Structure 1
């Protein structure tokens, strides 16, 4: 692509990144403008997918993430793809992705993100014991901090609560609140409700 087009695409992608949290719809419009000029670049398709995901447009996000993967994206998109499958009403497909060989290769936060999605898919199907099993294997480490740990602990607590184990749930909401240094959950409020 020529320099002028590359500069325009880059400006749209920067704008999309800056707007993603405060105005996801505007971010999506910028990402789509970048795609219109360079739709054959994996990073551009991934950016459109992320913006569509933030807007709750699961079908578009799924399409863009799949395109990015076909183009050779090196990002760990599997948790996002599985969550999009849940969003379009296919929790069974999200569970299949969670058990795939590719899923077995994920580590750290990426693996935890996929566990959260797979457990949510199980809960969507009313399979709360299986959801708890997904979240418990391996057992969450309550000393961790960060947004992924907080979300994992929160999901674990929610599942325990749905199973009628309020005392255990309270402990995991407390762990989620302690881990949530970025304020991505309402764990503190949940602790107050249950205490």
Structure 2
């Protein structure tokens, strides 16, 4: 739920993850079975090879032609061994799915988008997406692996690519996040991904690309929360380029004085306080950390601790 998880997005300094697979946006992508069995079975493990065959045509199991006795007297027999899973097959399988995850936890809009898949395949993809959503806070890496399993089964669904992108972002895999979110945007034309895409560019050492996205015409039409996210990323990109004054001006044009106590106001104030401290304006930074803490009832930031540390530094 991208719109519900902006609280851990960047504060203007180093990019930090925190996206959750979305349960609200649409997809125009057509289900892709990728050469896999019609009913969502596992990928083909290789098919026949030569006449001796290391694999059979059905399941990819190795056949070891060791004899259990003399030929013609009880005869040779095949001893079947399970072939080791390849890296691609391991990704396709994904992490073990918790028994209490059914897929029904997803938003109805997401479930509706999965209906174009065969029933069993849709159910499996839904369970992986739901598991990713449940794990994104405590174990983003495993959440990401769940989204990869979903993507392996349905790579042409925008909602799946979005989920993979946001989980990759949360786990710190910025190149992968950038690729998947761009793919999702191509599929459904959504611009809501732009702040995360821009921050991925920052994390990859491309602040100029982040600034280009911040100046996109669509940003002017963003709702307050998304606009605040892009402002924070833009200010962070300016900091990355050593343009501290420009970073401060970017944040000062935002509604820092808003009486709204929404998380996006908390994050804007925190980003401003953090940038003031980075610029050496510690007295101003202290005041803004206090102002941040005053509206941060859910403790989304460590503003109180930062203020206490600055106060201690000033006393010493």
Q: In which range does the TM-score fall when normalised by the shorter chain?
A: over 0.9
Match of 2:194 in 1: 78
Q: CA deviation at 1:146?
A: 3.2
The CA distance in 2 between the partners of 1:124 and 1:75, in whole Å, is 24
CA distances 1:107-131 after superposition (whole Å, capped 9, x unpaired) = 2010000000000000011100000
Please say which of residues 173-182 and 31-40 is displaced more in the overlay.
173-182
CA distances 1:74-122 after superposition (whole Å, capped 9, x unpaired) = 4611100000010111001101111111222212010000000000000
The CA distance in 1 between the partners of 2:149 and 2:191, in whole Å, is 22
- TM-score w.r.t. the length of structure 2 is 0.60
Match of 2:132 in 1: 16
Q: CA RMSD for the aligned pairs?
A: 1.3
Match of 1:126 in 2: 242
Match of 1:60 in 2: 176
Q: Counterparts in 2 of 1:174-189, with a 5 A limit?
A: 174-189=290-305
CA distances 1:130-160 after superposition (whole Å, capped 9, x unpaired) = 0011111134125332332222111101111
Match of 1:93 in 2: 209
The CA distance in 2 between the partners of 1:64 and 1:141, in whole Å, is 36
Contact 2:228/2:254 (<8 A) preserved: no
Q: CA deviation at 1:73?
A: 5.3
The CA distance in 1 between the partners of 2:183 and 2:269, in whole Å, is 32
Please say which of residues 16-25 and 134-143 is displaced more in the overlay.
134-143
Name the structure with the higher helix share.
1
- TM-score w.r.t. the length of structure 1 is 0.95
Change (3 A) 1:75 1:34: farther
Larger radius of gyration: 2
Secondary structure, in 3 states, of the residue corresponding to 1:71?
A: helix
Please say which of residues 131-140 and 8-17 is displaced more in the overlay.
131-140
In structure 1, stretches of 5+ residues that fail to align are none
Considering Cα pairs closer than 8 Å and 6+ residues apart, tell me whether 1 or 2 has the greater RCO.
2
Contact 1:43/1:73 (<8 A) preserved: no
Q: CA deviation at 1:36?
A: 0.7
Q: Check if 1:5 corresponds to 2:160.
A: no
In structure 2, stretches of 5+ residues that fail to align are 1-116, 312-316
The CA distance in 1 between the partners of 2:139 and 2:269, in whole Å, is 28
Secondary structure, in 3 states, of the residue corresponding to 1:5?
A: helix
Secondary structure, in 3 states, of the residue corresponding to 2:265?
A: helix
Aligned residues: 195
Q: CA deviation at 1:194?
A: 1.9
Contact 2:191/2:218 (<8 A) preserved: no
Q: In structure 1, which of residues 143, 166, 170 is the aligned counterpart of residue 259 of structure 2?
A: 143
